[in-house]
Amino acid sequence: MMKGNLASILNDNENKFISKMEGALEADGWKEIYIGLTSLNETSGKYHWVDGSPLKYTNWKKGEPDHPDKNKCVLMEIKSGEWAAVNCVSRRLPMICKRPNPDAS
C-alpha cells in the first residue's frame, strides 16, 4: 500500500515542480488543483498542512487568504503556482498527493 497525503509544499522548488505539471492537467481541462493546506478542524482559522509539516512557505495569490475561516481548503492555480483559499465543498478539483521518501532516514 502506498501511504501518502495531499501534498505539502515546503519551498519554492516544490511549488514550481507541481506547477510544471500544467501540460498534463490542462490537457484534461483542469486549471486548479487542491494541495494539502487547510483550515479544517481549526477553531482559530489558521492554516496547516494535513501531513503535519510546519507551515514555513506560502505562495498566496494577492488578496489571499481572503478571510480567516475554519472551513477552507487551498487550491493552486497551476499556471501561476499561486494559492487561493476556497470553501472545501465549493469545487470538485483533482488533488496532488505526496508520499514520504522510503529512502529518507
pLDDT, tens digit, 9 for 90 and up, residues 54-95: 999 999 999 998 766 666 899 999 989 999 999 888 888 888
Domains of the chain listed by start with CATH number:
5-98 (3.10.100.10)
Closest CA to 9 of 38, 29, 31, 30: 38
* Mean pLDDT along residues 39-50: 81
| CA 77 – CA 94 distance, rounded (Å) | 12
Amino acid at 83: W
- Of the two residues 1 and 84, the one the predictor is more confident about is 84
Q: What is the pLDDT of residue 58?
A: 97
Q: Return the SS3 of 87.
A: strand
Q: What is the pLDDT of residue 32?
A: 92
Amino acid at 53: S
Q: What is the pLDDT of residue 30?
A: 87
| CA 51 – CA 98 distance, rounded (Å) | 9
